Amino acid sequence: MGTDLRGVTDADFDGEVLGAGRPVLVEFTADWCGPCRQLAPVLRSIADEERERLDVVVIDVDRNPETATRYGVLSMPTLMVFKDGEPVWSRVGARPKRRLLEELAEVI
């Protein structure tokens, strides 16, 4: 399947996500998270299909605790859309592609 999702870190989150010129969907994830692994192909597919309107990135909460703490992320996977440097949408848990696209339609 398509592209691998780009990873971001505490060090580059502000530049890559908050400074992006368009909406960014961030998955807060962890290696040990089973639902995160289930969600990965869905996110890769959305990243390919919506690449003109949306960036999709992942951040590992175990390796990047500062960003997870800043946004109050307690469960994995947590999905957030950032627009103009601000979180505008957030959901917790894996979901099917169709449902995720429906939910994202309100913010992208």
* Residues catalogued as catalytic: 33, 36
What is the separation of C-alpha 53 from the centre of its chain, rounded to a whole number of angstroms?
A: 14
Give the C-alpha separation, 71 to 28, whole Å: 10
Residue 62's closest CA among 82, 33, 89, 34? 33
